[in-house]
């Protein structure tokens, strides 16, 4: 269903964040974001990365992608045969670039993303589950309906993905291929419990289908691990580059061997390395599932004094600093527009 590519297991990079990608502040989801995430299973955060930050990430990931073109093509051909030539696949995909790219590592371990993930999940601390570079070329096919937790070997509900647009994504009516969410499906226990095929194409009328397009580079959507989502074929006149980063609340256990028989193993290239090194059912604790945000020296004494029990809580009273001014402005605009409704 989803194209995937195997990333060879390399030593994890330890380089500090490249200049311009420090991403030191959490994005502080508004009450409206928190409520939308809880009720609908998804929310949008425009400008989570500034245009300059998004451009830096895109340049680094393009370089990483170029280094792995042959490897990825071989995997796509193996999975999809001739359909690969005809661009009938959903996308080209690389997993866990954070292990080899300092830029990817800067993003996945950042306060900006990881602290926001903890806030959305309502937990103290998150671990990184995976990152994914998704290149949906012009003419690539649909991303079919699925829910991410069906493809993850973790026994948890606290699992969230930040999907970052790195290139502009037009509205669907203009051929754009943003994610489409079946609102509320993440807490549709009746569907999960009764449906013979819980990830089969969504029954008409059961959910309201929602996209947050158009997106500018740096815009993000966040979606819950159980939510059903898909994306239409890329009918726009440019390739769509996006970077998806997934977190889970620290404390989850891995699935037992019996439970794993019921999961979809399509994403196994992402997790089989660390999973093989843990006992089935053991806590999901591994160097490839690091606690994030990464420990970083605080740039000022004021930050150093921030009590740790506040970790994960929205910090509505923190002043904006220069690097984050655009996030502040957009958060303020969101709060104002929420107040008008």
Ligand X SMILES: O=C(O)CCC(=O)C(=O)O
Binding residues vs ligand X (CB under 6 A): 91, 134, 136, 143, 148, 161, 163, 229, 231, 242, 244
Compute the distance between CA of residue 14 and CA of residue 9 in angstroms, rounded to an integer: 15
State the angle between helix axes of 69-80 and 51-67 in degrees (0 to 180), rounded to the nearest 10: 70
Q: Which is nearer to ligand X, 25 or 148 (CB)?
A: 148
Rounded least distance, CB 91 to ligand X, Å: 6
Using alpha carbons, list the distances in angstroms from residue 59 to 52, 70, 95, 250: 11, 19, 17, 31
The residues near 242 (Cβ < 8 Å, ≥ 6 apart) are 133, 134, 136, 163, 164, 165, 166, 167, 169
Look up residue 235 and give its two tokens.
């009918």
Residue span binding Fe ion (CB under 5 A) among the ranges 65-73, 76-84, 148-156, 231-239:
148-156
Considering only residues 155 to 184 of the shown chain, the ones binding Fe ion according to CB under 5 A are none
- What single string gives the DSSP state of each residue in 200-221? SSPPTTTS-EE----B-TT-EE
Residue span binding Fe ion (CB under 5 A) among the ranges 7-15, 56-64, 143-151, 288-296:
143-151
Rounded least distance, CB 217 to ligand X, Å: 15
Q: Which is nearer to ligand X, 220 or 324 (CB)?
A: 220
Given Fe ion, ligand X, none, residue 231, with its beta carbon under 5 to 8 Å by kind, binds ligand X
Rounded least distance, CB 278 to Fe ion, Å: 23
Rounded least distance, CB 279 to ligand X, Å: 28
Considering only residues 279 to 308 of the shown chain, the ones binding Fe ion according to CB under 5 A are none
148 binds Fe ion (CB under 5 A): yes
Compute the distance between CA of residue 266 and CA of residue 280 in angstroms, rounded to an integer: 19
**Cis check: omega of the bond before 293, within 30 degrees of 0:** yes
Tell me which residues touch Fe ion (CB under 5 A): 148
């Amino acid at each position: 269903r989803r194209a995937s590519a195997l990333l060879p297991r390399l030593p994890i990079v330890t380089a500090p964040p490249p200049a311009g990608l420090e991403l030191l502040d959490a994005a502080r989801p508004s009450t409206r974001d928190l409520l939308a995430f809880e009720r609908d299973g998804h929310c949008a955060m425009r400008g989570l990365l500034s245009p300059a930050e998004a451009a830096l990430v895109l340049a680094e990931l393009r370089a990483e992608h170029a280094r792995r073109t042959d490897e990825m093509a071989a995997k796509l051909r193996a999975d999809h045969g001739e359909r690969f030539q005809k661009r009938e696949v959903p996308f080209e995909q690389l997993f866990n670039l954070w292990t080899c790219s300092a830029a990817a590592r800067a993003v996945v371990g950042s306060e900006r993303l990881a602290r926001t993930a903890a806030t959305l999940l309502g937990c103290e601390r998150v671990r990184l589950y995976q990152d994914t570079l998704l290149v949906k070329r012009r003419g690539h096919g649909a991303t079919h309906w699925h829910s991410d937790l069906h493809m993850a070997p973790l026994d948890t509900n606290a699992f969230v993905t930040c999907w970052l647009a790195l290139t502009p994504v037009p509205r669907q009516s203009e051929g754009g291929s943003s994610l489409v969410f079946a609102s509320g499906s993440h807490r549709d226990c009746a569907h999960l419990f009764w449906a013979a095929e819980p990830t089969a194409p969504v029954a008409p009328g059961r959910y309201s289908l929602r996209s947050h397009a158009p997106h500018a580079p740096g815009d993000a959507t966040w979606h819950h691990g159980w939510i059903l989502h898909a994306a239409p074929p890329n009918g726009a006149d440019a390739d769509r580059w996006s970077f998806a980063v997934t977190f889970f609340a620290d404390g989850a256990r891995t699935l037992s061997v019996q439970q794993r028989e019921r999961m979809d193993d399509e994403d196994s290239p992402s997790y089989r390395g660390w999973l093989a090194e843990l006992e089935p059912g053991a806590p999901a604790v591994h160097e490839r599932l690091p606690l994030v945000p990464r420990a970083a020296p605080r740039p000022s004494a004021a930050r150093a004094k921030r009590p740790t029990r506040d970790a994960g809580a929205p910090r509505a009273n923190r002043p904006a600093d220069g690097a984050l001014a655009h996030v502040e402005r957009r958060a303020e605009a969101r709060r104002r527009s929420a107040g008008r409704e």
